[in-house]
Structure 1
Amino acid sequence: MAGSSLLALLDDIATLLDDVSVMTKVAAQKTAGVLGDDLALNAEQVAGVNADRELPVVWAVAKGSLVNKAILVPAALAISALLPWSVTPLLMVGGLYLCYEGVEKLAHKFLHSKAEDDAHHAELTHALVDPTVDLVALEKEKIKGAVRTDFILSAEIIVISLGVVASAPFMTQVMALVGVALLMTVGVYGLVAGIVKLDDAGLYLTRRTGEGAGTRFLRGLGAGILKAAPYLMKFLSIAGTVAMFLVGGGIIAHGISTLHHGIEGLAHHAGEVSIIGGLLGALTTALANTGVGLLAGAVALLVVLGAQRVMRRGKTDAPNPNG
């Protein structure tokens, strides 16, 4: 009896772990839209930091990210247990924020002049060479800003993951959310550390001395890395933006049953095309969700800009208490 009970317990544990691994995988796939932007954004946050301080800054932000998730995971579990009806609205809010952020990035060159961007870059460059600038304070400000940004992105990841595991048993929810939180933190900041050190690695390889074939290959590889690093950042930014529309639009569409069934119908008809039906159906769903994301993000941006204009006008029209 004891042996059979132990085997039953082990079987239950194996089933639980299998459920957790499956749900963690699905949740990770659902949150992929946040990761491309997360990688590029966090790599950009290190800009203006001395090369020998890049990894300590990334490590400090990673620790802040773990604290963020230590707050967000229990909060998400409490919401799932006490207010399960709010999971879908929260998902839609998170999806809308993703879409808004994506449209804001696209509109950046229209909302901010090149002179503003150049001035910001010049300010960072000047801070590195100006002996009167407190680099420790500058570094701390960058870390605080990166941790605040991470809190928003982590909240999106946890809320999206919660939508995947909301109907699972409580223990499965706990293990899946903790797994996703740890996986995303280690994965994102491990990659960020690698990205910010790509140029250093390339420079190190280009300085290898010797005329052997292997050494020449390493120097060529280093030169290639130095040329490719800026393009990698651009690719991550573009891929992350597209994925934000795809994932955010998909979340919004899923929360609106009429829209969701309409997209399913289009995908079904596209899937009936011979030979390429499967690919065409998937592409139709992706394009439709991306279109929903673009539209939702544009509307959200217009609302935010309108609200900001009204607030600025209200401050301008307010009477001066000093006469």
Structure 2
Amino acid sequence: MSTLVRTAPAPAARTRKSHRPLLQAGMPPESVAMRIVKAIVLVLLCAIVIVPFVSVVATSLADQQQITNAGGFVLWPTHPSLLAYKSLFAGGVVTRALVISLLITAVGTAISLAATGTLAYALSRPDSLGHRPLLLIVLTTLLFAPGIIPNYLIVQQLGLLNNYWSLILPVAVNGFNVIVMRAFFMDIPRELTEAARIDGAGEWHVLRHVVLPLSKAVIAVVGLFYAVAYWNAFFNALLYLNDNSKWPLQLVVRSYVIQSVTLSDPLNSGPVPPTDAVQTAILVISIVPILLVYPFLQRHFAKGVLTGAVKN
């Protein structure tokens, strides 16, 4: 009786196909010249982004003679000095404004995430009360923004002038962020929420213990959107805060950079740093805190923003 033996293909035959480049039908392989061109374009784009930031940091560390010789555009300080930063923090104005901005950003982001998350979850449930009218109102805010005078009158009638809540409550909910979170919530399988309801869970329990743990990506992205908006906002503070001791960091930056006003302590006697160095130093101080947050949340961008955006 003959035995049929099934022989496996040789290892070389199995691996030969995997090393072939995957090309679409009718698309020729990319030439070396095209790769070089793409690399050059990528390097130029990176230089356009990085060089101005490097120049700002270098100018903040340079002395007056080097800034004058370079025409205000220093790329590498020959004798770096922290005199501009010491001068800014010595008066106490920048330190106080930095603390105010951090508190406004932290409290405002927490309130905005709570309000946006609950509203987005309600709008993601088709059987919720007033689902369509509320969704229409949110979409309307994307098309028609309120004016400056109506906003000011509302803040004045609520007694929020010269109050930090005037920087948080009027902008606590953003329509675009609500739509993004709603689309993400609608992508969560309904079987999970229905199973929780069968076990006796209410809506708040479903939101806190089922929906939110699965939505860390969109929460991180929307939270970053709100944090950047609170951190960079200065116009509302300019309108609603009359006491300069309550100014956030961005208003202090505006006074230093645009109006060239020095808000340091007049009793502080010592060497005076160059004006350009002080202006660029306070720009660095205003950029670094929010810049440190980006690397930790960057991996959530694609999933948090694009999930459900096409379908919904």
Return the TM-score normalized by structure 1: 0.32
The structure, 1 or 2, with the larger RCO (C-alpha pairs under 8 Å, 6+ apart) is: 1
Pair member with larger Rg: 2
**Higher helix fraction: Structure 1 or Structure 2?**
1
Return the TM-score normalized by structure 2: 0.33
